[in-house]
Amino acid sequence: MYDPRSLKAEEFINHDEILETLRYADENKDNLELIDSIIEKARKRKGLNHREASVLLVCEDKERLDVLYSLAKEIKNDFYGNRIVMFAPLYLSNYCVNGCVYCPYHQKNKHIARKKLSQEEIRREVIALEDMGHKRLALETGEDPVNSPIEYVLESIKTIYSIKHKNGAVRRVNVNIAATSVENYRKLKEAGIGTYILFQETYHKESYEKLHPTGPKHDYAYHTEAMDRAMEGGIDDVGLGVLFGLELYRYEFAGLLMHAEHLEAVHGVGPHTISVPRIKRADDINPDDFDNGISDEVFLKLIALIRIAVPYTGMIISTRENKSVRERALELGISQISGASRTSVGGYAEEDRDEEDSSQFDVSDNRSLDEVVSWLMRNGHIPSFCTACYREGRTGDRFMSLCKSGQIQNCCHPNALMTLKEYLMDYASLETRNIGEALIEKELENIPKENVKNITKERLERIEKGERDFRF
Ligand code: SF4
Ligand code: SF4
């Protein structure tokens, strides 16, 4: 039944194969010889399959775990250096016809304020985001064919890309909307989206159906097969994720890796990103109602093992997590974070910032973008506002082959420095700017190729004089 090449959800995310994987992992939990051989394989930086990674997930040997955490950090540094890509979510509408029991936007919630942004309101949101320095957005909207049909999403993307405010511009719009048809994915591709993101929520079919009792999202197969339709529609960067806390994390972990293996087997390219949201408190949602919540320790172990299992995949953590968890997660493999997020519809431009009204979840990290940028730099990371690959057409397998050849280091690093420089010139506080200038000076020396280093220096000077938007 299990077939990673199949296009049927229940065959590429096969329940029996997951149960068998968990059994295999339990049996080999103390098999140090096997664990060591899996670690050796992981050192080659070519990834692990779901069975191998599941064995490591149950490993409790302190010495081996320390090795795994160091390896995750090394792999992060090999593929992503010390750069962290910044983004912000933008909520367009919270009308939703689904009944997801963990989300306050579910249709039966009658007291949450429902809002849908007009194009003028989107303009105001985007200007507020550009005024902070954001260049990369993730669009979010509930599923509602009447209030937010695909035409509305397409028009909104067009509006967002059209807004040039002072030196600001949104250069990449990633989209997180409900599973849809090949035809609609094609339209999204034509509208110039970056990554199409869709969280699976849970890979466990029976739980999935209970957690999504009503609405189109109830259909497990349609949801799980969405990435295949997106790829058929021409979108080659797709982002996966599960909502940790809904089901047993070991089940989700195996399912997530099987999904990645499936995409690689069928389309020749794995997921562009994996997000790791954990269930959080929100309007009528209490995370304690879900009994599969995971501790910070388990959460960080999952992050480290995803990094090791899929070394080329970007990993995203949001402001659902607080500063200290984010700080540790960044050391273990996270490559993208959101900053200064508003999880309500219209939350960026609103004067009174009345988040309780329409937010999807409570934010645990409330710092401004300037504070997040400064904190990252003080912790040795380079905040990057780079969107170069997407704009140079380096997506899907073209991106992956560049990444696998190691050449991306000669693009990402200088691009990070140049986009950081733009940020420092246009948006940073004096203190942040001082930290950033010193960091750029130091990091210039870490550009491997001499000619790239010289071009970067010259471009940094031109940015200082007012020019913008350079990229490799
Ligand atoms: S998770 Fe998405 S689909 Fe489900 S209720 Fe919330 S907005 Fe709607
Ligand atoms: S060069 Fe490409 S992979 Fe590197 S940070 Fe920029 S967009 Fe990302």
CATH of the domain at 124: 3.20.20.70
Check pocket membership of 418 for ligand 2, CB cut-off 6 A: no
Task: Based on the fold, state whether residues 91 and 170 are members of the same structural domain.
Answer: yes
Task: Based on the fold, state whether residues 402 and 356 are members of the same structural domain.
Answer: no
In a domain, 189, yes or no: yes
Shortest CA distance to 381 belongs to which of 335, 348, 434?
335
> How many residues belong to the chain?
472
Check pocket membership of 384 for ligand 2, CB cut-off 6 A: yes
In a domain, 54, yes or no: no
The backbone region for 144, taken as left when phi is positive above 0, alpha when psi lies in -120 to 50, beta otherwise, is beta
Q: Which ligand has the shortest distance to the CA of 414?
A: 2
Task: Based on the fold, state whether residues 361 and 407 are members of the same structural domain.
Answer: no
Atom nearest to 178 CA in ligand 1: 3
pLDDT at 356: 52
Half-sphere exposure of 223 (CA within 13 A, CB side): 25
Task: Based on the fold, state whether residues 353 and 458 are members of the same structural domain.
Answer: no
For each of the chain's 472 residues, which pLDDT tens digit applies? 999 999 999 999 999 999 999 999 999 999 999 999 999 999 999 999 999 999 999 999 999 999 999 999 999 999 899 999 999 999 999 999 999 999 999 999 999 999 999 999 999 999 999 999 999 999 999 999 999 999 999 999 999 999 999 999 999 999 999 999 999 999 999 999 999 999 999 999 999 999 999 999 999 999 999 999 999 999 999 999 999 999 999 999 999 999 999 999 999 999 999 999 999 888 999 999 998 999 999 999 999 999 999 999 999 999 999 999 999 999 999 999 999 999 999 999 986 555 556 788 889 999 999 999 999 999 999 999 999 988 988 888 887 777 777 677 788 999 999 999 999 999 999 999 999 999 999 999 999 899 999 999 999 999 999 999 999 9
Check pocket membership of 144 for ligand 1, CB cut-off 6 A: no
Q: Which of 136, 171, 172, 387 for a ligand 2 pocket mutation test, highest count of atoms within 8 Å of Cβ? A: 387
Check pocket membership of 273 for ligand 2, CB cut-off 6 A: no
Task: Based on the fold, state whether residues 95 and 210 are members of the same structural domain.
Answer: yes
In a domain, 387, yes or no: no
Q: 360 and 104 in contact (C-beta within 8 Å)?
A: yes
Protein residue with least CA distance to atom 4, ligand 1: 100
In a domain, 59, yes or no: no
Check pocket membership of 420 for ligand 2, CB cut-off 6 A: no
Task: Based on the fold, state whether residues 310 and 408 are members of the same structural domain.
Answer: no
Check pocket membership of 400 for ligand 2, CB cut-off 6 A: no
* Structural domains counted in the chain: 2
Task: Based on the fold, state whether residues 355 and 404 are members of the same structural domain.
Answer: no
Q: Tell me how far the alpha carbon of residue 386 lies from the centroid of ligand 2, in angstroms.
A: 6
In a domain, 122, yes or no: yes
Atom nearest to 387 CA in ligand 2: 7
Q: Which ligand has the shortest distance to the CA of 402?
A: 2
Task: Based on the fold, state whether residues 155 and 244 are members of the same structural domain.
Answer: yes
In a domain, 95, yes or no: yes
In a domain, 21, yes or no: no
Q: Tell me how far the alpha carbon of residue 398 lies from the centroid of ligand 2, in angstroms.
A: 12
Q: Which two tokens stand for residue 46?
A: 């070519």
Check pocket membership of 105 for ligand 1, CB cut-off 6 A: yes
Check pocket membership of 389 for ligand 2, CB cut-off 6 A: yes
Task: Based on the fold, state whether residues 327 and 416 are members of the same structural domain.
Answer: no
Q: 115 and 407 in contact (C-beta within 8 Å)?
A: no
Q: What domain range includes position 162?
A: 77-366
Task: Based on the fold, state whether residues 311 and 220 are members of the same structural domain.
Answer: yes
CB-based contacts of 77, cutoff 8 Å, min separation 6: none
pLDDT at 361: 86
Q: 75 and 326 in contact (C-beta within 8 Å)?
A: no
Counting other chains too, the contacts that 37-44 makes at CB distance below 8 Å and 24 or more residues apart are 39/64, 39/67, 39/68, 39/71, 42/68, 42/71, 42/308, 42/309, 43/71
Check pocket membership of 103 for ligand 1, CB cut-off 6 A: yes
**Torsion, Cα of 105, 182, 246, 116 (10° steps):** -10
- Could you give the CA distance from residue 326 to residue 277 in angstroms, rounded to a whole number? 12
Task: Based on the fold, state whether residues 327 and 432 are members of the same structural domain.
Answer: no
Q: Tell me how far the alpha carbon of residue 97 lies from the centroid of ligand 1, in angstroms.
A: 8
Its pTM stands at 0.97
Amino acid at 240: L
pLDDT at 396: 81
In a domain, 294, yes or no: yes
The backbone torsions φ and ψ at residue 96, rounded to the nearest 5 degrees and listed phi first, read -150, 135
pLDDT at 353: 55
* Single residue among 348, 366, 384 that ends a domain in this structure: 366
* Single residue among 312, 342, 366 that ends a domain in this structure: 366
Task: Based on the fold, state whether residues 256 and 405 are members of the same structural domain.
Answer: no
